[in-house]
Amino acid sequence: MNYLYIVLTIALTVFGQIAIKMQVVKAGALPAAGGDKLLFLLKLLLNPWIIAAFAAAFLASVSWMGAMSKFELSHAYPFMALNFVIVLLLSAWLFNEPLSVARMAGVALICIGTVIAAQG
């Protein structure tokens, strides 16, 4: 049951990253002009999905506090590397981002490192 705090932290963090990426892709490229950049970013900040992503980041922090009350930081923190794994896979699936052999090897090393670190 205590690992639920870690799982929730990971899920909320991943949700936030994916939601922000989806909305930024939808909004288009950042304008070159200074005033246009500010307006572009302000519109993004007022986007309900971006607000939800910020709320998810806040809730992930609250969940992480719960995890910190149950685990040593050195035990729990390696699990945060799973954010990289999940975001990489979702970005390949949802955004057609390249999933090269080098990236997959890196993800495999992260998974192996997470298992080793969590047991140590």
DSSP labels, the chain: -THHHHHHHHHHHHHHHHHHHHHHHHH-SPPSSHHHHHHHHHHHHTSHHHHHHHHHHHHHHHHHHHHHHHS-HHHHGGGGGHHHHHHHHHHHHHH-----HHHHHHHHHHHHHHHHHHH-
> Average model confidence (pLDDT) for the chain?
93
The number of domains in the chain is 1
How far is 41 from 47, CA to CA, in rounded Å? 10
Could you report the per-residue pLDDT of 55-91, keeping only the tens digit for each?
999 999 999 999 999 999 988 998 898 898 999 999 9
**Is the per-residue pLDDT at 52 higher than 70?**
yes
pTM of the predicted model, to two decimals?
A: 0.87
Question: pLDDT exceeding 70 applies to what percent of the chain?
Answer: 99
Task: Give the residue with greater pLDDT, 114 vs 21.
Answer: 21
Question: pLDDT exceeding 90 applies to what percent of the chain?
Answer: 74
pLDDT at 120: 67
User: Tokens 């939808």 identify what position?
Assistant: 26
Residues 6+ apart with CB under 8 A from 43: 27
Task: Give 119's pLDDT tier (boundaries 50, 70, 90).
Answer: confident
pLDDT at 27: 95
Which domain covers residue 36, as residue numbers?
3-119
